[in-house]
Structure formats: C-alpha cells, structure tokens
Amino acid sequence: MKLRVFCLVVFLLSGAAAGTDLLPTVVVVTTGGTIAEKVDPATGGAVPAVSGSALLAAVPELEEIAIVEVVEFLNIDSSHMTPEIWRDLSAKVQEILDRTDVRGVVVTHGTDTMAEGAFFLETTLESEKPVAFTGSMRNGSDLSPDGSANLYNAVLLVCSPEAAGWGVTVVLNQYINSARHVMKDNTTNVQTFDSGDFGYLGYITGNHVLVYNTVLECTRIPLPDSLPEVPLFYTFAGDDGNYIRFAVDNGASGIVVAGVGAGNVNASVFHAIEYSLENSIPVVICSRARHGEPEALYGDQGGGSSLVEAGALLAGDLSPFKARLLLMIALAQPDMGSDEMGLLFNAN
Ligand code: ASP
C-alpha cells in the first residue's frame, strides 16, 4: 500500500497529472498592431492600448495546449515599423529560440507590415524551430474582434508537428502563409493575407492543421549589426529617373526598382539605373505586377534583357518590399561578393 501512495505522490508532484510536463513551452513576443489596439474616444481612432499579458489573459484556452510565456517587446502600429526594429526583434527572437525548453515563438504584430517583418526574421534567424506571426484586422473595440482566435491558432501551429520545416509563417483567419510569399491584399477584410500563385501552406480548423503545401525556398543570411540604405522606386509613366540619380548621389548602398510588366522601365530610368551601376551601387529589378516574375524578355533600352545586360539583378519571386529587405541584409554582410549576390536573387 505504502508503495502505491508513494507513486501517486510522485506522479502528482511531477505535474504529470496536470499534464503541464507534456505541454510545450511557447513564447509570445508582442510588438503592437491592431490586435493590441482599442478606439480612443477622444479621436475615434484605434490606438495601442492592450498589453501583451492582457492579450494572453483574454485567451484562457491557451493553457490547454501550451505553457505560454509573454515578452512585451513593443506596442506600436506596424505602420511605424522599421528594418532596424526588425533587426532588434530578430535578435530577441533568436535569444528565445536558443532556449532548449522553447518549442517555438509567436510574434504578434500589426498586419500592415507583417509580411515584411516575417520575411526579415525568416531571412536572419538561425533556427529550425517554428515562428508564427499573427495579429488582427479588427481592434478590441470592434463588434467581433479576430485577435484572440488568431493568437490561439498561432500558438497551436507552433506546437503542431506540421509546422516543422515551415520556418516563419503568417497565421490569420485560419490560413497559414509562408513568410516569403505572403502579402496583405485587403485593407480591412479579416481574410487579407494570401500568397498569390504559391498558395497557402495550410489551414487551421478544429484544433488541427491541414497541410496544403511545402515551403519552396528559404534564404538564410546572418543577422547584421547595422543595415544600409536601400530605397525602393515604383516606376510610372513619364518617370524621368531623377529620384534614382538623387539616391545614388545621396547615400544609397543599393536600389530596388519595381518595373512595369515583366520588369521593364523607360529609357530615362534605364540610364539612371546605368548611372547607379557605374557607381558600383547594385540595382534589383522587380515588377509592379502581383503575379509572375521579372524576366529578361524585352531588348529595347529599359527592357528586362537590357537591364540584365547592364548588370541589374532580377528579383525572382520576391515582392519589391521583400527584395529591398533581402538586398539590405545582403549588402550588410562583410564578405558578400557580386557573384553570391547574384545567386541570392537570380537563383529563384
Ligand atoms: N494599422 C495596423 C497595423 O499594422 C493594422 C493591423 O494591425 O491590422 O499595426
């Protein structure tokens, strides 16, 4: 009899009865965004108002699936995010992922620039553990806020075996997108994130993950201590290229140009890009189009093939905003040669 009592006591003390030993540890790093905002009666507009701890307290169901810790990193609308903040966020998330007891990380973030933030961390983190970005399209004062369900699903994903190998994801409205291809596609709808031609990675329903896809590519580059200036220009009819020339003369270390169609520009912009390349400032060509990739198809001055001939790089499957971040991170590497830089972009 004594042995049975002893075993029961050990079992209870070990916490196994409560199941807490069996639950994975997930750290939620909060940065702000609509998920943490409420309407300010004075202005009638949504402003940062909810702490990270309060976000977790609003989802008691989390205790059933994970041991959740919170790190309150920032509380800003993501329209104010910068690459430098993402650099510091990546360093903090890396520190957390390096803990052996941590299964993965959820980052709550504003949706306006979440796609870029997720890509920045995917590119600079050195860990195979899952990181899921989430947020909300409706604030805490709205009729039916979506933040709590999104937060629960993001923690569930990080705990699930399906997330292994997916790197950094964006989880909103049950859909799972890759950091590389996700884009915010609707200004106000809860179903705002999608990945265009590449499709969703999966879908969360009834506490489990449906797998639709695999991650096609994941570029990893060491997190730099500082980041260079890389402006982005969306070209337009009648563009004279002078803003590119101004950037070359005023501190740009690289330039990204979103061209028309398959990545074409007019002759004036073409000469401005030549001016940049002649000053050893690399130029990456993207497209204003949402689908497809820039290609060396047209041979007139400013056509894709003339740009490649002049030494510009084609961005492959990256959006202009993510190509800019990749070029910033690459240029910050002490030993990134032009060949390696070319592979980064043309290897897609
Ligand atoms: N403006 C908000 C943000 O990006 C939008 C959102 O989070 O849904 O922080």
User: pLDDT tens, 299-317?
Assistant: 999 999 999 999 999 999 9
Q: Is 34 a catalytic residue?
A: yes
Q: In this model, does residue 2 exceed pLDDT 70?
A: no
Residue from 30, 31, 34, 124 carrying the catalytic annotation? 34
pTM greater than 0.85 (yes/no): yes
Sequence-distant (6+) residues with CB within 8 A of 319 are: 115, 183, 286
| Any atom of ligand 1 within 6 Å of the Cβ of 137 | yes
| Any atom of ligand 1 within 6 Å of the Cβ of 111 | yes
For residue 6, the model assigns a pLDDT of 54
Q: How far apart are the first and last CA of the chain?
A: 67
Position of tokens 């009592």?
A: 5
Measured in whole angstroms, the distance separating CA 287 from the mean position of its chain's CA atoms is: 20
Domain boundaries, the chain: 23-211, 232-344
Protein residue closest via CA to atom 7 of ligand 1: 110
Nearest to 198 by CA among 132, 121, 286, 291: 291
How many angstroms separate the CA atoms of 55 and 171, rounded?
16
Protein residue closest via CA to atom 3 of ligand 1: 110
232-344: CATH, from 3.40.190.10, 3.40.50.40, 3.20.20.80, 1.10.630.10? 3.40.50.40
| Any atom of ligand 1 within 6 Å of the Cβ of 79 | yes
| Any atom of ligand 1 within 6 Å of the Cβ of 130 | no
Phi-psi region of 284 (alpha: psi -120 to 50; beta: other; left: phi over 0): beta
CA dihedral 59, 207, 126, 231 (to 10 degrees): -70
Distance 138 CA to ligand 1 centre (A): 9
Q: What percent of the chain has pLDDT over 70?
A: 93
Could you tell me where the beta strands, DSSP code E, fall in the chain? 25-30, 37-40, 45-48, 67-72, 102-108, 131-134, 168-172, 175-178, 183-184, 193-194, 202-205, 208-211, 232-234, 255-259, 283-287, 313-314
23-211: CATH, from 3.40.50.300, 3.40.50.920, 1.10.3470.10, 3.40.50.1170? 3.40.50.1170
For residue 16, the model assigns a pLDDT of 45
- What are the pLDDT digits (tens) for 9-23? 554 444 444 455 689
* Continuous segment of H or E residues that includes residue 302: none
67-105 burial, b if ≥16 CB within 10 A, otherwise e?
A: bbbbbbbbbbbbeebebebbbebbebbbebbeeeebbbb
pLDDT range class, residue 348, cuts 50, 70, 90? very low
Distance 96 CA to ligand 1 centre (A): 25
How many angstroms separate the CA atoms of 131 and 123, rounded?
12
| Any atom of ligand 1 within 6 Å of the Cβ of 112 | yes
